[in-house]
Amino acid sequence: MAHPLALQQDPEEDVVRVESELVVLNVTVTDKQRHYVHKLTRPEFKVFEDGREQKVDFFEAEKTPFAAVILMDTSGSMEGSVSDGALRRDKFSRRFARRRRDGDL
């Protein structure tokens, strides 16, 4: 059994209680073939909770920054695959550079 004082809150800790009617959902939308769906508009977007559609009062599609790190295993066990990996890395890098937006890393 816990000591009664152990259940009390530290008096130096501030408690902040906030009610919010705004719920932010960050989503990525794909189709049945798992291709990204871009430029959705409010009428094309629905939110469901427990199988019931929820009212959406505010809708905003925004572009968010993208960051990528490429790690390559160049150990001896990968000897035959390093050049293929390098080609794929270079292809990705070129595609990313063409589509880069402000804020992307």
Ranges of each domain in the chain: 16-99
The verdict on pTM exceeding 0.75 is no
Using one digit for the tens of pLDDT, what is the confidence trace for 41-66? 888 888 899 999 998 888 887 777 77
Burial of 58-79, coded b for 16+ CB within 10 Å and e otherwise, reads eeeeeeeeeeeeeeeeeeeeee
- Specify the pLDDT at position 28: 84
- Specify the pLDDT at position 53: 94
